[in-house]
Amino acid sequence: ETSPLPPPPPATIVIIIGMRFSGKTSLGSAAARALPTSGNCRFIDVDQEIITRNGGVTPSAIVAGKGWQAFREMECETMKAILKEEEEEQANTTNTNTTTTTTIIACGGGFVDHHESMDLLQPQRLSTASSAHHCMIVWADKPLAMIEACHTADNAARPSYAASVAEVFDRR
């Protein structure tokens, strides 16, 4: 008689938050490539997921056509869908006793501006999504002066803030 295989280790979800131009996407994609998880680490950029799930419509176009509130709601719904898909993926992995994954998710810079989105990041909410997940939130912290310089150099493709970068930085 053989012993049953031990359950796989819990999956890990790393959620990166931070200001626009703080390096969330660069940090997340580099970490996903560098982590020694036998190819089972994936990176999801929430803004890119929004584009993919909405037929190529960019966040800038969404904000221009529907406003910031509609975009924030779409961003929140996209994150809910991602977390649900991760939970389902983990359930499938556990049922088949295969290697688990690490998923790194880079949120949009304003994700923390929406109350319902912030609720998704609360420990009790993340831990009830699946007891088989370990969740971690990472704040990509970059000095305000560097963020302002990036805004000045490359802001044309991004929806404009209704306030100065410093005011948005302080609020978040």
pLDDT one-digit tens code per residue, 68-125 = 899 999 999 999 999 888 878 776 765 665 565 788 999 998 898 888 888 888 876 6
pLDDT at 81: 93
- Residue 10 pLDDT > 90: no
Which stretches within the chain are classed as H helix?
A: 24-34, 46-53, 59-66, 68-96, 115-120, 123-129, 144-153, 165-171
Which pLDDT score is estimated for 26? 94
* Cα–Cα distance for residue pair 97/94, rounded to 1 Å: 5
Kindly state the DSSP code that residue 13 receives in the 8-state scheme: E
At 144, the pLDDT band (50, 70, 90 cuts) reads: confident
Distance of alpha carbon 120 from the chain centroid: 11
Position 134 pLDDT exceeds 80? no
Q: DSSP class of residue 112?
A: G
Would the pLDDT of 140 be above 90? yes
The answer to whether 79 and 43 are in contact (CB under 8 A) is no
Read off the pLDDT of each residue in 10-31 and give the average, rounded to a whole number.
Answer: 89
Binning pLDDT at 50, 70 and 90, where does residue 8 land? Answer: very low
